Amino acid sequence: MTERLRLINAVIKYGDVKAVDDVSLTVRDGEFVFITGANGSGKSTLTRGIAGLLPLSSGTITRTERLGYVPQVEEADRNFPASVWEIVITGTQGRGGLFYSMGSRRRALQAMDELGIRDLAKRGINSLSGGQLRRVLLARALCGEPELLLLDEPCAGLDAESHALLFSVLRKNVASGCAVIMVTHDASDLEGIHADRVITLSHGRIVNDE
């Protein structure tokens, strides 16, 4: 089995406050990991650290370059004048090229089909509903053929149908060797898919991992 992520004694601070405190975590290909915990327990901070958006104050991280990251939606994303297509295809970036290849375009279209947002392609993202925008961000994460998917509360605001769709897409990716780390509050998410592990955070520390 290939390791997709290895965190050793990771600490992430905001000023003097440790939002992630001494977290060690290894995730391998084909693994499905849930992260839960109370509001403010450090889940988003941990995922942002894994995504490389926040520096570790101490500890080490090694992970695959091929990352698909879906943040908790930020307002900044909503008001930007861009079409759905323009946002989705950015998921294929990060491979160095300045222009999108035919292959990238094909994968972006495929991801949009999978998530049922192809007909939204030309719409401005500022005209989407919350759930539609979340699907856009998911399609974006998927079209880069990620080896590690990092999802921060992807189910918030999804209707039952989208919820089922999300899990079937995730199952397919896991089956083909992608590792998934999903942050969720919702116990019912845990029923949508067989989780290999459920990790519980409290005050930035892992208090349970099973």
Beta carbons within 10 angstroms of residue 102's beta carbon: 7
Q: Helical H runs in the chain?
A: 43-51, 75-79, 84-89, 102-114, 130-142, 160-175, 189-192
**Tokens standing for residue 116:** 């049922």
In the complex, the smallest distance separating the C-beta of residue 14 from ligand ATP, rounded to whole angstroms, is: 3
By CB under 8 A, tell whether 100 contacts other proteins.
Answer: yes
Burial (CB count <10 Å: 0-12, 13-18, 19+), residue 188: exposed
Q: Is 18 in the site for ligand ATP (CB under 6 A)?
A: no
Instruction: Identify the DSSP state of 30.
Output: T
> Quick one: which segment of 8-16, 96-104, 173-181, 193-201 binds other proteins (CB under 8 A)?
96-104
Contact of residue 51 among ligand ATP, other proteins, Mg ion, none (CB under 5-8 Å per partner type): other proteins
Does position 98 interact with other proteins (CB under 8 A)? The reply is: yes
Q: Is 50 helix (H, G, I), strand (E, B) or coil?
A: helix
Q: Any contact of residue 44 with ligand ATP (CB under 6 A)?
A: yes
Please say whether the beta carbons of 131 and 159 come within 8 A.
yes
Q: Enumerate binding residues for ligand ATP (CB under 6 A).
A: 14, 19, 37, 39-45
Q: Enumerate binding residues for other proteins (CB under 8 A).
A: 51-53, 65, 67, 69, 71, 74, 76-77, 80-83, 85-87, 90, 93-94, 98-100, 122-124, 126-127
Q: Enumerate binding residues for Mg ion (CB under 5 A).
A: 44
